[in-house]
Structure 1
Amino acid sequence: MELMTLLPILGVLLLIIVLKRSPIEAAFFGALSALILWLCDVATPYSQVLAWAIITDTMILFVSVASVIAMGLLLVVLLEKTPTNQAFTSWVGLLNLPKSQSVLLVMLGIAPMLEALTGFGVSLIAIIPILLTLLPKEIALKTALVGMAIMPWGTLGLATVTGASMLGLSAAELGLYSAMVSSPVFMWLALWALSLAKLLDKQALINALMVCVMFVCVLASASKTVGVEIAGVLAGLSVVAYFLLLGKKSPIPKAIWVYAVLFGSVLLLKVVGFLTGWQHWAWQGVQASFKPINSPSIALALTVIVVWWAYRQQYALNAVIHQWLKRAYRPLTTILCFLLMSQIMVKGEFLQGFHQLLNGLPTVAQIPILAMLGAIGGYLTGSNVGGNVLMLPILTDNNPILAAIMNSAAGASALASLPVVAIIAGLAKADTQQEQRLISTALMVAVINTALVAMVGVLLYVGVA
C-alpha cells in the first residue's frame, strides 16, 4: 500500500527518465493518478472538506505562479521585437575589460541580473552573442550554463516565493538560507568557466573570489531585507557596478531602459504596499496564501504596458497573442498538474510512509537525500518552480534550512536541464555533436552542484543546530 501512495511520483520519474515523455505528459499522469488513488481511499479517505482544501490551495498557488509566468512570457515575446538584449553585446566590448573580467561580468553580472528580472532563459538571448565574441564556440556554450545559476531568484524570486508559500515559511528566511547553501555553486561555476577558457591566472582568481563573495553577500542580505523578488537583480547589479568602475568609461545603452522600468516597478509596488498596508492583504487558503501587491506579476504587467506603448508600431496584436499562448500553455498546464498532484499527496497524506522512513534517519543523514530529490525535480522539470512543486511536499518538517537545500538543489540542477541546453544550443546554432557534448557537461554540472549543496547544507544545519 505504501508503494501505491508513491505511484504518482514514481510514474512521473519513469515517464520522463525511461520513456522520454514530456514534462506536461508526466504532470498530467501524476495529477490523474494521485486523484484516482485518493478517490479509491488509498490514503486519507475522500471528504468534501479535504476536497475543498485541495482545490483552494491548488488554485491559490497556481494563480500566484501563473500570473508571473504569463506576464513574464508576454514580456519576453515583446522584447524579441526590440533592440534591448542585443544592446549588451556592443556595450561589453566598449568597456575594454580584460577577457577574464568580461567573462565574469557576463556570468555573475549581466546574466543573473536579466534572469532575475524576467526568467525563462531571457538572459541567454543577451549573453550568448557576447560569449561567442569572447570565447571559442564550445566553451561559450558551456559557460552560458553558469549564467543560469541564479535560478532560485530567477523570474523575480518566483521559485523561492512559491516554495515558501507551499510550506508556510517566510520567503525572506528561505531566500537567506538558499543564498548560503548556493554560495559554493556560484564559486565553483565561475572558476570552472574561467578554467575552461584558460583564463584562470592569479589575477583572475582574485577577481573571481572577490566578485563571488560580493555577489553572495548582496544576495543574502537583500533576500533578508528588501525581499527575494529583487535580491537576484541587486546581486547582479553589484557585479555590473564593480566592473563599470574597472572598465573604460562607457554610457549604459539606452535600449535597456525596459529593465529599469521593471526594476523601478518592483520597488514602487513595495513602497506603495508599505505605505498603504496593502502588503498584508492576502488571499488565504487552508495552508497557502497569495499577496497580490507583493507579486512580481503586477510589476511585469506594468512593464508590458509600457513596452507595448513604446514599440506599438512594431507589434501585430494577433501575432503577439499567438506567440504568447503558444509558449505559455505548456508550462502553465504542467505547473497546474504538478500543483494538483502535490496538494492531493500532501493533504491526502500519501507521503506518510516516506515521512516515517525519513524520520527514522538523523536529520544530517536526510540532507543528501533531500538534495538529491530536489535536484531530480529541477532537472526533470527544467524549472526551479516545477522542481519545488514536485518535491517540496516530501519534507517531513518545515525547517527553512532543509527547504533551502531542496530549493537550491532544484535550481542548481534546473540550470543544467535539457530545456536549458536546448535553448543554448538553438541560440548558438550548435550542431548535433556539440549539443550532445553540452548535455554531458550539463549533467556533470548538475551532479557536482547537488553534491556541493548537500555538503554545505550539512555544515549549515549542524552549525545552526
Structure 2
Amino acid sequence: MNAALATLPVLVTLVLLALGVRALYAALAALATALTLTATAFPTPLADLGDASQRMLPTVVELAAILFGGILLSELMARTGAQARMGERLGSACSSPGRAVLLVTLGVTPFAESLTGFGIGVIVAIPLLRRLGLPPARAAVAGLLGLVTVPWGSLAPGSLVAAELGDVDFQRLGVDSALLSAPVFLICGAAALTVALGPRRALASAGDLAIAVTALWGTVWAVNAYVGVPPAGVLGGLVTMAALLLVSRLRERNSGGGEPVGRALSPYAFLVAGLLVSRAVLEAAGVDEGWWAVVAGPAGWLPLTALLAPRLLGARWQVLGGAARAAFGRWWQVTLTTAVFLALGTLLTVTGMSREIAEACASLGSSYLFLAPWIGAAGGFLAGSNTGANAMFAAGQAETARALGHSAAHLVAVQNVSAALASGAAAARVALAAQLADNAPGPASVRPRTEAAPADPGAGGTATRRMAETRSATETITGPDADSPADTRWVLRTVLGVHALVFLTAGVIGVLWG
C-alpha cells in the first residue's frame, strides 16, 4: 500500500504533463501531493525536513546562477553576431548537412555539457543548430538528444554520488556506464539526424553517424578505463569534433576557410580556462563541497563569463542591459520550475517514498532488471538532474541488485545512464530548449529554394549552399510552418519517445548483463 501511495507524485506529474499542463503547475501539484503524503502516510520529523532543505539550498542557488548565466550568454552571443559567425564557420567546415548536425549534437553538445553540466550543452548547441537551418522545434529536439554524456557532466559529480551511495568503485562505474552508453550514442544520434533532416537524408549520413558514434564511445570508454572518470566526456566531445572535421576535409577537399571565429569563441575559452583552473585550485586545497565549490564551478564562472562577454566579443557595453532584461524574462520561470522539481525529488528521498518504490519493484524478481532503467529515468525526469536522481535511487538500485544476486556495479550503471539521459527531457529543460530555439536567429543568408546557390566555390558559398540544403530537407518533413514557434509538447513527446527506445534497450542489456 505504501509503495502505491509513494508513486502518486510521479503519476500526478506524468498525467498532468501528458494533458498539456504547464510544467510549473504540474510540478506544484506533484509537490503538494508529496507534502500531503508526508503529513499522512509518510510522517517525517521536521528536523529531517529542515536538514534536507538546507542541503538543497546550495544546489538551488547553483542551478539558478547557471541558468541565468547560460541564458544571458546565449542572448549576448546572438545580439553580438557571434552565434552567426560560428554557425557560418560550421557551414563552411561541413558542407554536408548530416555531418554538420552530428558535429553539433555528438561533438559540441557532449563537450559543453561534460565541461559545465546542468544542460549548458543545450544552451550552446541550439543556437548553432538554428544557424545551420533547422526550424525551432527540430533544433530543440536535436539539441536535447545531444545530451548523451550527462553521466560525465560537470566532470562527473552525478556519477560520483552514484558510486558512493551504491558502494561501488567509481572507476568501475565509469567503465560500465561507458559500455552501456554505446546504444545511447547510436540511438540518440540517429534520432537527431532523422528529426533534423528526415529519414532519407539521415540514412544517407549513416557513415558519418558511425564515425561520430565510434569516436565518441571509443574515447569515453578508453578515458574511463585508462585515465579517469571526470574528463571522459570532455575528451570524447573533442575527439568526435576532430574526427568529423577531418572527414569533412578529406571527403570534400574543404580547406575549412571562412571568417575567423577566434573572437566569437573567446567567451567559451574563458569559461573553460576558468573552470579548469578553479577546479585545480579547489583540489589542491582539498575543497570538494560548500559555497566555495559552488562559486568556483559553473555557477560562478558562467555569470562572470556573460558579464565579460561584451568585452571579450568586442561589443559595446550597452548591449548587456538589453540582453540582461531579455534573459531575466526567460530565466525566472525556468528556474522556478526547476527549483520545485528539485524540492520534490528531495522530499521523495527524505521521506522514504523513493525507497518504497524501489523495494516494491525488487519483489518482481529478475524481471526487475528490465524495469531498472525506467526507475532511474523517473528520477532523472523529475529531478532534472543526474545527481538528484542518483541521490534518490542509486542506493536502492544497488541493494536490490545484491538481493537478486546481480552485479551492483552493473545496475548502478544502468541507473546512472538512464537517469542522466532522462534528465535531458525534464520539463524545465525542455521549456528552456524551446525558448532558446524560438529566440535564436535562423540562417539569414539562406536563399529561397528557387534561387541558385552562389557560384563562388569559397567558404561563403559552401556555407550558404549547405544551409539551403538543410532548410530544404527540414521543409519536406515540417511543412509550411517550419519557422513557427517550437511546440513544447511536441518536443517533449519526441524526446521521450526516443528515450523510451533507449530504456527498452538498456532493460534488455540489464537482463542479459552480469
Q: What SS class does the counterpart of residue 273 from structure 2 fall into? A: helix
Post-superposition offset of 1:356: 4.5
Q: SS of the residue aligned with 1:311?
A: helix
One-letter amino acid of the structure 2 residue matched with residue 212 of structure 1? V
Separation in 1 of the partners of 2:293 and 2:377?
28
Counterpart-to-counterpart distance in 1, 2:326 and 2:434: 24
Match of 1:404 among 383, 400, 413: 413
> Which residue does 1:285 correspond to in 2?
none
Segment of structure 1 superposing worse, 397-406 or 331-340:
397-406
2:270 to 239, 243, 261: 261
Q: Which runs of 5+ in 1 are unaligned?
A: 283-289
1:329 pairs with 2:382 = no
Question: Which of these residues, 355, 373, 376, is aligned with residue 374 of structure 1?
Answer: 376
Contact 1:157–1:228 (CA<8 Å) still a contact in 2?
yes
Task: Assess, with a 3 A threshold, how the Cα gap between structure 1 residues 298 and 10 changes in structure 2: closer, same or farther.
Answer: closer
Cα distance, 1:102–1:370 mapped onto 2, change above 3 Å:
same
More moved, 437-446 vs 219-228: 219-228
Q: 2:106 is matched with which residue?
A: 108
| 1:92 CA displacement | 0.6
Bigger RCO of structures 1 and 2 (CA < 8 A, at least 6 apart): 2
- Aligned ranges 1:21-100 → 2 under 5 Å: 21-40=21-40, 42=41, 51-63=46-58, 65-79=59-73, 80-82=75-77, 83=80, 84-100=82-98
How far did residue 252 of structure 1 move?
4.9
Matched, 1:212 2:217: no
* CA separation of 1:307 and 1:432: change in aligned 2, threshold 3 A: closer
Which residue matches 1:178?
177
Distance, in Å, in 1 between the alignment partners of 2:32 and 2:140 is: 38
CA distance in 2, matches of 1:420, 1:303: 17
Q: Is the 8 A contact 2:175 2:224 kept in 1?
A: yes
Q: Secondary structure at the match of 2:347?
A: helix
Matched residues in 1 for 2:511 and 2:392: separation?
23
Q: Indicate yes or no: 2:25 matched with 1:9.
A: no
CA contact (8 A) 1:143 1:193 kept: yes
Q: Residue in 2 aligned with 1:286?
A: none
Cα deviation for residue 144 of structure 1 reads 4.1
Q: For structure 1, which segment, 70-79 or 300-309, has the greater mean C-alpha deviation from structure 2 after superposition?
A: 300-309
What letter corresponds to residue 304 of structure 2 in structure 1?
I
Distance 1:13 1:321, change over 3 A: closer
Under a length normalisation based on structure 1, what TM-score does the superposition of the two structures give? 0.76
For 1:420 and 1:46, how far apart are their aligned partners in 2?
A: 30
> Partner residue of 1:338?
345
Rounded to whole Å, the distance in 2 between the matches of 1:321 and 1:191 is: 32
- What is the rounded CA distance, in whole Å, between the counterparts of 1:143 and 1:10 in structure 2? 26
**Matching residue of 1:319:** 325
Q: Alpha carbons of 1:197 and 1:154: their partners in 2 closer, same or farther (altered >3 Å)?
A: farther
Distance 1:361 1:419, change over 3 A: same
1:455 aligns with 2:511: no
SS at match of 1:254: coil
| Residue 199 (structure 1) shift | 3.9
Structure 1 414/327 Cα, relative in aligned 2: closer, same or farther at 3 Å?
closer
**Residues in 1 aligned to 2:26 and 2:510: alpha-carbon distance in whole angstroms:** 30
Once the two structures are superposed, the pairs formed by residues 231-250 of structure 1 within 5 Å of their partners are 231-246=232-247, 247=249, 248-250=255-257
Alignment check: 8 A CA contact 2:99 2:244 kept: yes
Whole-Å separation in 2 of the counterparts to 1:458 and 1:373: 15
CA RMSD of aligned residues (A): 4.0
Aligned equivalents of 1:137 and 1:307: distance in 2? Answer: 24
- Aligned match of 2:363: 360
Q: Percent identity?
A: 22
Count of aligned residue pairs for this structure pair: 437
Judged with a 3 Å threshold, the aligned counterparts in structure 2 of structure 1 residues 293 and 46 are, in CA distance, closer, same or farther, namely: closer
Residue 457 of structure 1, CA deviation: 3.1
Q: 1:271 to 1:391 in 2, by over 3 A?
A: closer
